[in-house]
Amino acid sequence: CHLRGFIEKYVRRWTSFFNPYIQITFHEYNGDNFCRSKVYSAIESYLIANSSLRASRLRADIANNSRKLILSMDDYEEVTDEFHGVKLWWSSHRSISKTPSLSLYPTAVEKRYYKLTFHGRHRELVTAYYLNHVIDQGKAIEVRNRQRKLYTNIPSESWSSYRKTMWSHVAFQHPATFQTLAMEPEKKKEIVDDLVAFSKGKDYYARIGKVWKRGYLLYGPPGTGKSTMIAAMANLLDYDVYDIELTAVKDNTELRRLLLETSSKAIIVIEDIDCSLDLTGRRKKKEKEEDGHTNKVDPVEKGAEEEGKEKNSRVTLSGLLNFIDGIWSACKGERLIVFTTNHVDQLDPALIRRGRMDKHIELSYCRFEAFKVLAKNYLELDSHRLFERIGQLMGETKMTPADVAEYLMPKIQSGCAETCLENLIRALELEKEETMLKAEEINVKKMPEMLVKEEAKEGSKED
């Protein structure tokens, strides 16, 4: 056996002396690692997705936890690739080794690997550029094909030590896209461009020394499409969504741990930020303390206050700001942070200043441009004689896209588009009347006050 190893070694040396080609192998499993090599799977995706390589013998497998079919190059298949005019050969191999196991019968273990062959004079090009190119492309393909997930945080009492999960997840399958989102086309385009530029901005962010993250604040009344827009963002960029329920987060440390557990290419969402925490209130209290007003606090009152805090989450404004500012988000990969609120005016200015929340987007009541998108989605209408009237009414009323959408969904019996539009017009007219009545009521209430004021003025003049 020794002799055989010795001979093999010398034969290999002898042949490599005449053979100008270099070979690199990439194993599916490395050493004791039970995880599949990421480089191997990136190469696998690259080789199968690159139609120019045209492997003719393929192998099909079913992926874990999904019904999706995964294709890869069959064993002992070979393809040729070209990079900057240099030819390279990829081949797939399989070796079967018998490993002794605890049972009586040794088990055969299949080991797969890819072999890359190229001429020795291209060593530099291949190791410095080509391999990075293959791995980057392969990873990008994997991202496109993967099943995206929607994560929600689990309250820390339920974290299990053996599974180490802080997030529970389900497959993310929201159908919303920017195409189906009702809003003014220019505004929509601006947001889409901004998102795409961000997702391609790896080098830019590295150059200016900023963490690769971007904050969005979506604000507007209920039913104007804030949550829908987040889903559209995730679908546009192929990101996972992490929906943080702040009230279930115990304290700032827990918040940081949650963030460190997120994957790259993630949208981190905090919905209804004004309701999640009394951030503004706490800050005001602090300011008061600084003023010295609360130095003499009644011990009973203080106790009650602390008890109140105990009940809620103890995430503080500064904890949340650190979280956004990137001290803890300096881990690899891009992240979007999205806050939604119905009351933008009630948020602490520090929380939403530019640089933290880079883009503020107002989602508002349905205007005619937005209505046209909904009409196209729901009724497949580009134009209709009733559109003009609807356009007029929408300028004078406040109806949310959610309500408009409700009218445009053809009910099972009265299924025609015209009826839907007529119903919508009726609702808009009603809404208009109500707003006019309310305005009149307010005026009537104000009348006596105004009269008193005017009388007082006149009285003072007479004096």
Ligand X SMILES: Nc1ncnc2c1ncn2[C@@H]1O[C@H](COP(=O)(O)OP(=O)(O)OP(=O)(O)O)[C@@H](O)[C@H]1O
The least distance separating ligand X from the CB of residue 368, rounded to whole angstroms, comes to 13
Burial class, 90, CB count within 10 angstroms (exposed 0-12 / middle 13-18 / buried 19+): buried
> Contact 273/347 with Cβ under 8 angstroms?
yes
Element (H, E) at 93: strand 86-99
226 binds ligand X (CB under 6 A): yes
- Interaction partner, residue 228 (Mg ion, ligand X, none; CB < 5-8 Å by kind): ligand X
- Rg (alpha carbons) of the chain, rounded to whole number: 32
Given the complex with Mg ion, which of 134 and 338 has the nearer CB atom?
Answer: 338
Distance CA 58, CA 268 (A): 38
Sign of CA dihedral 271, 272, 273, 275: negative
Give the ranges where 171-250 is alpha helix by DSSP (H): 185-199, 202-208, 226-237
424 binds ligand X (CB under 6 A): no
Instruction: Select from 43-51, 185-193, 223-231, 281-289 the region that touches ligand X (CB under 6 A).
Output: 223-231
188 binds ligand X (CB under 6 A): no
276 binds Mg ion (CB under 5 A): no
φ/ψ (deg, to 5) at 384? -165, 155
Structure tokens at 45: 């995706």
Q: Which residues, 6 or more positions from 356, have their beta carbon under 8 angstroms from its beta carbon?
A: 215, 321, 324, 325, 350
222 binds ligand X (CB under 6 A): yes
Distance CA 315, CA 84 (A): 53
402 binds ligand X (CB under 6 A): yes
Given the complex with ligand X, which of 224 and 316 has the nearer CB atom?
Answer: 224
> Contact 278/346 with Cβ under 8 angstroms?
no
Distance CA 172, CA 195 (A): 19
Instruction: Select from 217-225, 242-250, 286-294, 309-317 the region that touches ligand X (CB under 6 A).
Output: 217-225
265 binds ligand X (CB under 6 A): no
Instruction: Select from 18-26, 48-56, 202-210, 401-409 the region that touches ligand X (CB under 6 A).
Output: 401-409
Instruction: Select from 122-130, 141-149, 155-163, 400-408 the region that touches ligand X (CB under 6 A).
Output: 400-408
Instruction: Select from 179-187, 249-257, 312-320, 442-450 the region that touches ligand X (CB under 6 A).
Output: 179-187
The number of beta carbons lying within 10 Å of the beta carbon of residue 270 is 21
Structure tokens at 389: 């009237």
- Interaction partner, residue 225 (ligand X, Mg ion, none; CB < 5-8 Å by kind): ligand X
Among 45, 227, 235, 316, binds Mg ion (CB under 5 A): 227
- Interaction partner, residue 224 (Mg ion, ligand X, none; CB < 5-8 Å by kind): ligand X
344 binds ligand X (CB under 6 A): no
The least distance separating ligand X from the CB of residue 349, rounded to whole angstroms, comes to 21
364 binds ligand X (CB under 6 A): no
Structure tokens at 224: 């104007």
Instruction: Select from 145-153, 175-183, 223-231, 415-423 the region that touches Mg ion (CB under 5 A).
Output: 223-231
Given the complex with ligand X, which of 88 and 375 has the nearer CB atom?
Answer: 375
DSSP 8-state code for residue 99: E
Structure tokens at 399: 């109806």
Among 401, 420, 421, 424, binds ligand X (CB under 6 A): 401
Supply the angle between the helices 401-408 and 368-379 in degrees, to the nearest 10.
30
Given the complex with ligand X, which of 79 and 231 has the nearer CB atom?
Answer: 231
Residues of the shown chain interacting with ligand X in the complex, contacts defined by CB under 6 A: 181-183, 222-228, 342, 401-402, 405
Residues of the shown chain interacting with Mg ion in the complex, contacts defined by CB under 5 A: 226-227
